[in-house]
Structure 1
Amino acid sequence: MDATFPRARKNQLGYNTAEVEDFLQLARRAYDGRVRADDRELNSERIRLTAFSMQKGGYSTAHVDAALERLEDAFAARERQVAARLHGDEVWLSEARTTAQVVSNRLARPEGQRFDRTSILSLGYNVREVDRFADKLTRYFRDGWPIGIDDVRAVVFTAQRGGYRESQVDLVLDAVVDVMLAVR
């Protein structure tokens, strides 16, 4: 039997194959409009937030993550088409502009103060690294500076005691991805 994705080596961790296969079946049904009564709702945001358990010899995380990004793009494009049909392109773009303004306001805060900090005993994202990336995003929103959606999806920050609260940074990055998908 052929695997959907390449597998990690037997002694290395990859994504749980059964979970990935189940998710792909759900996504296929959702995209084709053949949802079952017991299927959970699936949209581009849920795809972005999807996580799988790890198992030795599971599916290659890089290959599955790349497929999830393509799937998210496809769902986002369809969501935009549906919204444009129902409400018009201007409403869709207006929502994207509003989100972009909220993100821009957050990123305009002074360095070191853009997000809540963890306690000195807890780990958060490295403040300097996040601020550097936030400056790139500010240039993207303000000046049209080129930055790709994959750059936002793939950004990784090292840990730091007393760093930025990860959940807040992640929410802003998710909002940036939403805006980028909306204006494609």
Structure 2
Amino acid sequence: MDSTFPRARKPHLGYNIEQVEEFLQVARRAYDGTARPGDPPLSAERIRLAAFAMQKRGYSTAHVDAALERLEDAFAAEERQVAARLHGTEAWLAEARTTAQVITNRLARPEGERFDRVSPLALGYRVREVDRFADKLTRYFRDGWPISIDDVRTVVFTTQRGGYRESQVDLVLDAVVDVMLAVR
């Protein structure tokens, strides 16, 4: 069972094997419609937010993350189909447009003021890097500029004292992924 993914090579840590396997079993049952009474509800968003402990010789983080991205895509497609059947495709797209408008309003703020800042003594995301990526997202929403879901999922910002509040930036990036998955 523990050969689902390659193991992390020394000296790197990998994801906890038992946690990953358990999560994948729950995901398989949820996707197949055979969820057990004790299984937590699973959605594309919950898959995106999944986190695992680290361990020596655990599963390769790159391989697990790639599998989780594919799983998230599959769940998002299923959620889109269910919503379209229940409420119609136009309702689904209207919700995505509303979310996109909220995002673009946030990104239209002046540079250096797009997100809350942490205390000057605390670390947050580097403002210049986040603003540069926010400009790319603005071009995506406004002009259809090409940017992939993977670009959004894998963006990494360095930190600085007094930077942008990480949780707020991450929530906006999650919302961007939601919109991108909705309009696929």
TM-score bracket for this pair, using the shorter chain length: over 0.9
Which AA in structure 2 matches 1:5?
Answer: F
Which AA in structure 1 matches 2:137?
Answer: L
- Determine whether 1:80 maps to 2:80: yes
Q: Shift in Å at residue 122 of structure 1? A: 0.2
Match of 2:147 in 1: 147
Aligned identity (percent) is 82
Report if the CA contact (8 A) 2:125-2:164 is conserved. yes
Alpha-carbon distance in structure 2 between the residues aligned to 1:20 and 1:81? 27
Alpha-carbon distance in structure 2 between the residues aligned to 1:42 and 1:10? 33
Report if the CA contact (8 A) 2:15-2:55 is conserved. yes
Match of 1:65 in 2: 65
Match of 1:33 in 2: 33
Alpha-carbon distance in structure 2 between the residues aligned to 1:84 and 1:123? 42
Q: Give 1:18-57 correspondences, 5 Å limit.
A: 18-57=18-57
List alignment gaps of at least 5 residues for structure 2: none
Moved more, 31-40 or 1-10: 1-10
Equivalent pairs, count: 184
Alpha-carbon distance in structure 2 between the residues aligned to 1:166 and 1:9? 30
Instruction: Give deviations 1:61-89, integer Å, cap 9, x for gaps.
Output: 00000000000000000000000000000
Q: Shift in Å at residue 2 of structure 1? A: 6.1
Q: Shift in Å at residue 9 of structure 1? A: 2.0
Q: Shift in Å at residue 108 of structure 1? A: 0.1
Q: TM (normalized to structure 2)? A: 0.99
Q: Give 1:1-184 correspondences, 5 Å limit.
A: 3-184=3-184
Report if the CA contact (8 A) 2:5-2:60 is conserved. yes
* Partner SS state of residue 100, structure 2: helix
Alpha-carbon distance in structure 1 between the residues aligned to 2:6 and 2:67? 12
Q: Shift in Å at residue 25 of structure 1? A: 0.2
Which AA in structure 2 matches 1:176?
Answer: V
* Partner SS state of residue 115, structure 1: coil
Q: Shift in Å at residue 11 of structure 1? A: 3.8
Which AA in structure 1 matches 2:86?
Answer: L
CA RMSD of aligned residues (A): 0.8
Which AA in structure 2 matches 1:59?
Answer: Y
Which AA in structure 2 matches 1:63?
Answer: H
Q: After TM superposition, what 4+ stretches of structure 1 lie above 3 angstroms from structure 2?
A: none
Q: Shift in Å at residue 10 of structure 1? A: 4.7
Moved more, 7-16 or 52-61: 7-16
Alpha-carbon distance in structure 2 between the residues aligned to 1:136 and 1:178? 17
Q: Shift in Å at residue 148 of structure 1? A: 0.3
Q: TM (normalized to structure 1)? A: 0.99
Alpha-carbon distance in structure 1 between the residues aligned to 2:95 and 2:152? 20
Report if the CA contact (8 A) 2:2-2:17 is conserved. no
